[in-house]
């Protein structure tokens, strides 16, 4: 996933650099166009003044009309050359703008493709939560941050009860509906700094940086009481839960294993004493 993100970032950077280069080129073209226009207009004004006014003062003099006609032809030639130059510059500017439009479209496609690839690589396709790989990568990062800043880190694991029975009675469509409903409830139950992931068929992981014990209870409380309606059936969604705080020195796998053991102990024994920092289990109907 880091390689995909890096490649997408490089493509976006190259596209932005190309657009910026064309913008500078366009600015230079426009600057030269307006500068040339100013110079040509100034020269035409001077030329008209230098030819017309002396000719008017010598009306009737020999060659005065010829001189004026020649001056007018010269001025018309300058105007024609300037018009051709202006048309050429406008064509160049239009071509640059067209290139920029194509580059912007290509950049938008790259960004869209990068987003889709990221979703495929980082997210669980059914629930929209992060997948196991993303969760483990984030856990490593949060562990390093916890060590560096001496801040607490809590890991919560959740396991849905009776999902196999739901699949057997209502089909996999019913099971998928329960998973998605629980995932939506989980998204709303956690903070913006937390991360929720689906790490298995009916297992979920929640990474809770700087989370107090009572805040874990609040998360669990928000998850309880969920009932899913599917095909005329009302299915209560219950779960087993286990959580532990990170201990400096243990690896990510050791941390996960310790929390996993707490969750399965909760699943076997029901609700344990919260004063002993045991996980909280919802009652299975």
191 shares a domain with 111: no
Quote the pLDDT of residue 13: 57
- In this prediction, what percent of the chain has a pLDDT beyond 70? 71
Quote the pLDDT of residue 276: 40
What is the pTM assigned to this prediction? 0.60
146 shares a domain with 116: no
Quote the pLDDT of residue 275: 34
More confident: 230 or 110: 230
More confident: 262 or 274: 262
pLDDT digits 0-9 by tens, 79-107: 778 777 777 777 777 777 777 777 777 77
Q: Provide the b/e sequence for 185-198 (b: ≥16 CB within 10 Å).
A: bbeebbeeebbbbb
Quote the pLDDT of residue 67: 66
Name the nearest CA neighbour of 196 among 248, 124, 141, 245.
124
245 shares a domain with 173: yes
More confident: 170 or 67: 170
Quote the pLDDT of residue 77: 76
Quote the pLDDT of residue 272: 41
Report helix angle 163-170 to 172-189, nearest 10.
140
Residues 206 and 241: their CA atoms lie apart, in Å, by 11
Quote the pLDDT of residue 199: 95
142 shares a domain with 272: yes
283 domain-assigned: no
159 shares a domain with 102: no
Quote the pLDDT of residue 189: 96
Last residue of a domain, one of 55, 88, 122: 122
261 shares a domain with 139: yes
C-alpha to C-alpha distances, 94 to 22, 37, 91, 132, nearest whole angstrom: 12, 18, 5, 50
3-state secondary structure of 174: helix
Taking residues 217-243, report their average pLDDT. 94
285 domain-assigned: no
Quote the pLDDT of residue 216: 93
281 domain-assigned: no
Quote the pLDDT of residue 84: 77
Give the domain CATH number at 182: 3.30.70.270
Both tokens assigned to 171:
């089909």
Residues 61 and 57: their CA atoms lie apart, in Å, by 9
CB 68 within 8 A of CB 60: no
More confident: 231 or 273: 231
Taking residues 137-164, report their average pLDDT. 95
Taking residues 34-43, report their average pLDDT. 71
pLDDT digits 0-9 by tens, 165-198: 999 999 999 999 999 999 999 999 999 999 999 9
**Residue 179 CB coordination number (10 Å):** 24
Class of residue 8 by CB neighbours under 10 A (exposed 0-12, middle 13-18, buried 19+): middle
pLDDT above 70: residue 115: no
Q: What kind and span of H or E run contains 162?
A: none
140 shares a domain with 101: no
pLDDT above 50: residue 52: yes
Q: What kind and span of H or E run contains 271?
A: none
Class of residue 114 by CB neighbours under 10 A (exposed 0-12, middle 13-18, buried 19+): middle
SS3 content of the chain, % helix, strand, coil (to 5): 65, 15, 20
Quote the pLDDT of residue 16: 62
Q: Which domain holds residue 169?
A: 132-276
CA quadruple 17, 20, 26, 32: dihedral, nearest 10: -100
Residues 269 and 204: their CA atoms lie apart, in Å, by 20
């Amino acid at each position: 996933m880091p390689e995909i993100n890096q490649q997408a970032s490089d493509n976006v950077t190259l596209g932005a650099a190309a657009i910026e280069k064309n913008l500078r080129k366009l600015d230079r073209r426009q600057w030269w166009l307006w500068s040339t226009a100013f110079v040509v207009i100034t020269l035409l004004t001077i030329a008209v003044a230098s030819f017309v006014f002396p000719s008017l003062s010598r009306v009737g003099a020999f060659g005065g009309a010829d001189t004026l006609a020649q001056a007018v032809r010269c001025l018309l030639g300058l105007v024609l050359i300037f018009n051709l130059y202006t048309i050429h510059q406008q064509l160049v500017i239009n071509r640059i703008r067209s290139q920029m439009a194509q580059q912007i479209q290509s950049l938008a496609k790259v960004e869209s493709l990068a987003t889709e690839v990221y979703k495929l690589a980082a997210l669980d396709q059914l629930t929209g939560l992060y997948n196991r790989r993303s969760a483990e990568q984030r856990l490593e990062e949060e562990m390093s941050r916890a060590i560096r800043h001496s801040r607490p880190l809590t890991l919560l694991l959740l396991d849905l009860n009776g999902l196999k029975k739901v699949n057997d009675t209502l089909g996999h469509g019913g099971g998928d509906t329960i998973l998605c409903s629980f995932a939506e409830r989980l998204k709303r139950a956690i903070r913006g700094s937390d991360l929720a992931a689906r790490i298995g068929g009916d297992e979920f992981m929640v990474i809770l940086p700087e989370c107090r014990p009572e805040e874990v209870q609040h998360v669990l409380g928000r998850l309880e009481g969920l009932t899913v309606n599917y095909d005329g059936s009302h299915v209560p969604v219950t779960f087993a839960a286990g959580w532990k705080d990170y201990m400096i020195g243990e690896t990510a796998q050791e941390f996960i294993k310790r929390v996993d053991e707490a969750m399965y102990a909760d699943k076997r024994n029901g609700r344990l004493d919260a004063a002993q920092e045991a996980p909280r289990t919802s009652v299975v109907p």
